[in-house]
Amino acid sequence: MNNSAQKTTFNDIPCIELSAGGYKALIAYEIGSNVIRLQDIKNGMEFFRFNPENTADVIKQSAEVWGLPTLYLPNRFADGILKTSDA
């Protein structure tokens, strides 16, 4: 099985496509490193909701709906405590 990482685009969104172990991930590094697609190629499964017509604006407006924002809540975790405000 081949492992690969390559630059690509998805609807004009710059992405990195990772393939390994029968899985493929599409990561939009310019919009929060959002994993916008995760597939099990062998079984034809999508792990996240995916629409091949989504634009960057649609993904940005609802990043938690269209994939997995890997930079979710930056600077909000310290010592295992989630802060909801800076007060």
Per-residue pLDDT, 76? 61
Per-residue pLDDT, 83? 62
| Predicted model pTM | 0.73
Residue 79, pLDDT above cutoff 60 = yes
For residue range 27-73, list pLDDT tens digits in order. Answer: 998 888 889 999 999 999 999 999 999 998 998 888 778 888 776 55
Q: What kind and span of H or E run contains 56? A: helix 56-61
Per-residue pLDDT, 36? 92
Residue 87, pLDDT above cutoff 60 = no
Region of residue 33 (phi > 0: left; psi between -120 and 50: alpha; otherwise: beta): left
Q: Where are the domains of the chain?
A: 4-82
